[in-house]
Amino acid sequence: MKALKLDRNAIGQWLSAMAGERDIYVPAPDGPAKGTWTLLTDYSMPEIKPGVPARPVKNFLFPQPETLLKFSTVPTDPNCCLPSEPEENGRKNVVFGVRPCDARSIGLNALACKADTYYQANMEKNAIIGLTCSQVCSTCFCSETGGSPMGTEGCDVSLTEIDGSYIARAMTERGEALLALAESSGKEVTDSDISAVEALEEKARAGSDEIRNPEEQLRAKDLMELYNAPFWQELADRCINCGACTFLCPTCYCFDIQDETLHGKGRRIRCQDSCMFPLFTLHASGHNPRGQKIQRVRNRFMHKMKYFPDRFGPISCVGCGRCVRDCPVNIDIREVMRSLLHI
Ligand code: SF4
Ligand code: SF4
């Protein structure tokens, strides 16, 4: 696959060339939009801080909200009850500066969303340009969950900063086509550039934490034996069911579907939801299989470390650390993993 060396000027020219075809979103700089993704309007290399932005990349894959279809509520309208096609999604995007953990989450969610045509269309719509991590934050633990600060999974193009320039490696055919737009401004990579990237990859492997291959370690234990372990109640006592961990988590994909109507027109939308809310599982009969907080807290962690891997293979956590960083009562999934492994 194609690789180029791009200095900051060359990145600016590349962004400008890509903007002819796609909208480009980058992590917002400090200010009112901090933590979100913002449309790039000046085509220079954005300042991207270490770590992940508050909002995960899933917001491009599960737009908040997403119109599934439109309809009319006017009785005389011959099409009143017939849903019309969803609106054309418009221009495609480049999501630029995506950290390896976030990029990896796209493929994990796709395992569960194989039949979700909206998710698949959004994968098609959003090209991912990743940026590997030269600095690992205190809440990051991607290496413990099967990823790496140098990971490229889920990226169309992966950028690695070396001495103020970027080694851009195409990872997919779509990435190859995008990187071709930088051909005139970039330079060929040299053997020493490749060696520098490989050295960083080796360093990332060596820096992996004590919990390696957690899928294997977690699978080696029968987690169902811990279904009634006392620590679930301790976690539930602390949790306030705010749902922040699930909305911020790149690998949580619960959603709700609602119809909205106004002035004879209607639309069916889906929006992100949270399994931490009691209403999420409330049946029309009034029965609620997860009416108690301990059931919801246990389900969140068991889904990530037992149910999802049982069905799809990998654990459903990429170690981005958002839930660790933003839980108001300091519930830390790393401690839960250790509890599950060491009880
Ligand atoms: S569970 Fe927490 S650390 Fe893991 S991917 Fe979700 S937000 Fe990130
Ligand atoms: S962020 Fe913390 S308090 Fe809020 S629902 Fe998640 S675990 Fe509970």
According to the model, what pLDDT value does residue 82 have? 78
| Minimum-distance ligand 1 atom for the alpha carbon of 304 | 1
Give the pLDDT of residue 211. 52
Per-residue pLDDT tens for 152-162? Answer: 999 999 999 99
- CB of 290 within 8 A of CB of 86? no
Ligand 1, residues 303, 333, 338: which to mutate, most atoms within 8 A of Cβ? 333
The answer to whether the beta carbons of residues 238 and 245 sit under 8 Å apart is: no
Q: Under a CB-based contact definition with an 8 Å cutoff, are residues 278 and 213 in contact?
A: no
Alpha-helix residue ranges (DSSP H) falling in 126-210:
173-180, 191-206
Cα(221) to centroid of ligand 2, in Å?
26
Q: Is 270 in the pocket of ligand 1 (CB under 6 A)?
A: no
- Sign of the torsion angle spanned by Cα atoms 328, 329, 335, 339: negative
Query: Atom 4, ligand 2: which residue's CA is nearest?
Result: 242
What proportion of the chain, given as a percentage, has pLDDT over 90?
Answer: 82
Ligand 2: centre distance to CA 332 (Å): 10
pLDDT of 79 reads 77
pLDDT at 300: 98
Instruction: Supply the pLDDT for residue 89.
Output: 57
Place of tokens 């909200």: 65
What pLDDT sits at residue 174? 98
Closest ligand to C-alpha of residue 323 is 1
- Distance in angstroms (rounded) separating the CA atoms of residues 217 and 306: 11
Residue 204's pLDDT is 85
Give distance in angstroms: CA of 325 to centre of ligand 1.
10
User: Count of CB atoms within 10 A of residue 202's CB?
Assistant: 11
- At 216 the pLDDT is 75
Looking at residue 254, its pLDDT comes to 97
Q: Is 325 in the pocket of ligand 2 (CB under 6 A)?
A: no
Residues of the chain with pLDDT under 70: 86-89, 207-213, 215
CA angle 301, 101, 183 (to 5 degrees): 160
Q: Whose CA is nearest to atom 7 of ligand 1?
A: 249
pLDDT reported for residue 86: 65
Q: Which ligand is nearest to the CA of 324?
A: 1
Domain spans of the chain, in order of start? 3-209, 215-342
E strand residue ranges, 234-280: 255-262, 265-272
Determine if ligand 2 sits within 6 Å of the CB of residue 240.
yes
Indicate whether residue 51 lines ligand 1 (CB < 6 A).
no
